[in-house]
Structure 1
Amino acid sequence: MRIREIVSVLEQVAPLCLQESYDNSGLIVGDPEKLVGKALLCIDSTEAVIDEAIAKGCSLIIAHHPIVFDGLKQFTGSNYVQRVVMKAIRNEIAIYACHTNLDNVLRGGVNQKIAQKLGVLPTGVLRPMPGIIEKLVVYVPIEQSEAVKNALFLAGAGHIGNYDECAFSGLGDGSFRPNEEAHPYTGIAGRRELIQEVRLEVLVPVWLKSQVFSALKQAHPFEEIAHDWLRLQNTHSEFGSGIFGTLSQPLDSEDFLRFIKDSLELKVLKFTPIASKKINTVAICGGAGSFLISDALRAGADAFLTSDIKYHAFFDAEQSMLLCDVGHYESEKYTIELFSTILSEKLPNFATIFSETNTNPIDYLI
């Protein structure tokens, strides 16, 4: 199977356009047209992981963290990033990263996986991502409007929250004059035509724009389609940073902390002073999430699980929310299970192997 076919399955769940501006998700090393037989799934692409891929005959590594964030200006092997890339190239091993684009999806993302481990039912995103929805406005002859609308819906347009097939239509008159080289659906060259048309409006996620436009061109009867794409600041309820939800049953703070430690198999757990109230609403952000503390408070979270919290950020919880630092690697270690689930559902005959290499750069003396 070609690499592009494999990674396209991941990108159906986590489109690359959802990654943060600083990120470098996508195919970092390798030819997208290369045929591969199996993939090694990991959190980090390290030299040890490359060696493991070689030993296990995996010509594709799918990692959560990109091995390259900033551009490489030289390949001398002077640091681990250069050595990993050089070793991967020498051994014809491709490296693909699925990072903040997978963090920023509610369904099937990193945070939902943590929520599953804790029995938290997600109800929303802490900080929805703006600028990922566009409005398509197109003008269609009235007799073809329903067929065009249905084609757009089938291509993925018209979703708003828990509703689909959402659209707005309005009647009006459209005019045009074909020239001698035109092949009009109706009318003759050199004469202005006036026909009754429907103005059709639908919302389209940016990652489906090409797909929706292809469907429009196939369904619309005109060779020149009058249409507009309007970039919106609307947010999408299922895409953005962090999530929040409710526990299957409320817990006392101390019981909740023990539950987290056991459920996520933590060696250590850092947290703010224990409040007396029960924990019911829980906010979650895998990886570094202290930038979402204020969002978690606004969401009414009783507790917020994340990692990489700096000393002064612990004060931001205002003693009204239990703030828990579970560790960066620890919060994302189940991501390889996500990769496996996504790929096995769509590509049941493609082999994936969980890396046995512990890439956590932090250890603890207990």
Structure 2
Amino acid sequence: MKIKDITNYLEELAPLQYAEDFDNVGLLVGNYNTTVSGVLVTLDTLEETIDEAIAKNCNLIVSFHPIIFSGLKKLNGNSYVERVILKAIKNDIAIYATHTALDNSKQGVSAKMCEVIGLQNTSILIPKKHLIKKLTTYIPLSDADMLRKKLFEAGAGNIGNYDNCSFNILGEGTYRGNQNSNPTLGEKGKIHTEKEVQISVIFESKNEASILKSLQEHHPYEEVAYQIVSTENTHQNIGIGMIGELPIAMDEKDFLVFLKKTMNTNCVRHSNLLHKKIKKVAVLGGSGSFAIENAKRAKADAYVSADFKYHDFFKAENTILLADIGHYESEQFTKNLLVDYLTKKFSNFAIILSEKSTNPIYYI
């Protein structure tokens, strides 16, 4: 078992293309071709996490948060980040981080929150843009059916609950090959006209490499004409945060007590009580103040997240109950999600849930 076998499977759940531009995800320390002795799954990678990995014979740490977030100019052990990296390298331990790639996965962090809270009929709170691209190419009429099939097999043409989606225009293509050409149809040095089909398909950016590979392998022409454009379309199944419904509406105070117990937190900071039932609930793991307006527009009765500042609570404006359950607390079940996911695939391999709490915040 190589590290790349583990990470390739992780990226089926949380493709790196899903991550936000500011983030640093993927293999941060180590080599993809290293043989894996065991995998330790954690929320954060600290020095004690490295010690735990050593004690449990795990040479790959799968962490939610990236230990390297911004650039490192020195590695001399003056900060906890540098000490972690040095200890990992010294002990041949690789570190892989999922972070916002998993945040934006429909089966990711917020989905786990929904599961724990018991929300039903869930959907993405903020669908992500710039993940949908469009491929347009031109092919002889006789080969069009074959190429469409191959592009669909490579991951193109999926729209929500539909697949094999394409748009096709019949027309004529012209070309003339030079003396170094080897045209499939026509003769070099002569202008050739061919009945062609213009095929357009959309696809997720994560599938671009496989789709282009399929296009080049199955298109009959020596030189393949195509174009790819990025779209502004949002993806209804990819994005950050989720919204769903409680099975039974709850009083606000009962809901807050329920949150405190269910999310295993010592403190729930909340906005003014509105004296109404809580049924529709939005959630977002980690720092979620940026999505308050999205939760309001979605007509959520409550929004559960973390790291709200003083002035963020004013944004409730007597229309929604804001509940800050703590950063660690909102993401704490993520490592369970990752262990369960990896164990399904690698059932006979050591996938270990870290026993250490990496929460840096304490309550008195």
State the TM-score bracket (shorter-chain normalisation).
over 0.9
Q: What's the CA shift for 1:188?
A: 1.7
Q: What's the CA shift for 1:292?
A: 0.3
Q: In the TM superposition, what are the counterparts of 1:1-366 in structure 2 within 5 Å?
A: 1-106=1-106, 108-365=107-364
Change (3 A) 1:186 1:156: same
The normalised TM-score by structure 2 is 0.97
CA deviation vs aligned residue, 1:79-106 (integer Å, no higher than 9, x gap): 1111110011111111111101100122
Q: Is the 8 A contact 1:9 1:342 kept in 2?
A: no
CA distance in 1, matches of 2:130, 2:188: 41
In structure 1, the gaps of 5 or more residues are: none
CA distance in 2, matches of 1:243, 1:168: 32
Q: What's the CA shift for 1:275?
A: 1.8
Q: For residue 135 of structure 1, give the secondary structure of its aligned residue in structure 2.
A: strand
Look up the equivalent residue of 1:252 and give its one-letter code. D
Q: What's the CA shift for 1:32?
A: 1.3
Q: What's the CA shift for 1:135?
A: 0.5
Q: For residue 52 of structure 1, give the secondary structure of its aligned residue in structure 2.
A: helix
Q: What's the CA shift for 1:347?
A: 2.9
Q: Is the 8 A contact 2:136 2:228 kept in 1?
A: yes
Which stretch of the first structure deviates more once superposed, 1-10 or 340-349? 340-349
Q: Is the 8 A contact 1:115 1:122 kept in 2?
A: no
Q: What's the CA shift for 1:290?
A: 0.4
Q: For residue 105 of structure 1, give the secondary structure of its aligned residue in structure 2.
A: coil
Look up the equivalent residue of 2:330 and give its one-letter code. S
Q: What's the CA shift for 1:289?
A: 0.2
Look up the equivalent residue of 1:104 and give its one-letter code. N
Look up the equivalent residue of 2:94 and give its one-letter code. A
CA distance in 2, matches of 1:246, 1:130: 25
Instruction: Report how many aligned residue pairs link the two structures.
Output: 364
Q: Is the 8 A contact 1:122 1:243 kept in 2?
A: no
Percent pairwise identity:
44
Look up the equivalent residue of 1:247 and give its one-letter code. L
Look up the equivalent residue of 2:208 and give its one-letter code. K
CA deviation vs aligned residue, 1:147-185 (integer Å, no higher than 9, x gap): 111111111111112222211111110111223332322
Look up the equivalent residue of 2:197 and give its one-letter code. V
Q: Is the 8 A contact 1:156 1:208 kept in 2?
A: yes
Q: What's the CA shift for 1:249?
A: 2.3
CA deviation vs aligned residue, 1:182-224 (integer Å, no higher than 9, x gap): 2322212222211111111111111110011111122211121
Which stretch of the first structure deviates more once superposed, 73-82 or 335-344? 335-344
Q: What's the CA shift for 1:122?
A: 4.8
Q: Is the 8 A contact 1:62 1:95 kept in 2?
A: yes
Q: Is the 8 A contact 1:112 1:122 kept in 2?
A: no
Q: What's the CA shift for 1:270?
A: 1.2
CA distance in 1, matches of 2:82, 2:325: 30
Look up the equivalent residue of 1:76 and give its one-letter code. N
CA deviation vs aligned residue, 1:279-315 (integer Å, no higher than 9, x gap): 1111110000000000100011110000000011011
CA distance in 2, matches of 1:156, 1:330: 36
Which stretch of the first structure deviates more once superposed, 146-155 or 304-313? 146-155
Q: What's the CA shift for 1:342?
A: 2.4
CA distance in 2, matches of 1:188, 1:347: 54
Q: Is the 8 A contact 2:110 2:240 kept in 1?
A: no
Q: What's the CA shift for 1:360?
A: 0.3
Which stretch of the first structure deviates more once superposed, 124-133 or 315-324? 124-133
Q: Is the 8 A contact 1:176 1:194 kept in 2?
A: yes
CA distance in 2, matches of 1:349, 1:318: 52
Look up the equivalent residue of 1:182 and give its one-letter code. S
CA deviation vs aligned residue, 1:107-151 (integer Å, no higher than 9, x gap): x11000110111112543222222111100011111111111111
CA distance in 1, matches of 2:219, 2:345: 31
Q: For residue 258 of structure 1, give the secondary structure of its aligned residue in structure 2.
A: helix
Look up the equivalent residue of 1:227 and give its one-letter code. Y
The normalised TM-score by structure 1 is 0.96
CA distance in 2, matches of 1:188, 1:343: 55
CA distance in 2, matches of 1:56, 1:115: 31
CA distance in 2, matches of 1:193, 1:122: 56
In structure 2, the gaps of 5 or more residues are: none
Look up the equivalent residue of 1:308 and give its one-letter code. D
Q: What's the CA shift for 1:78?
A: 1.0
Q: What's the CA shift for 1:47?
A: 0.6
Look up the equivalent residue of 1:346 and give its one-letter code. K
Report the aligned-residue RMSD.
Answer: 1.3
Q: What's the CA shift for 1:341?
A: 2.5
CA distance in 2, matches of 1:355, 1:334: 12
Q: For residue 228 of structure 2, give the secondary structure of its aligned residue in structure 1.
A: strand
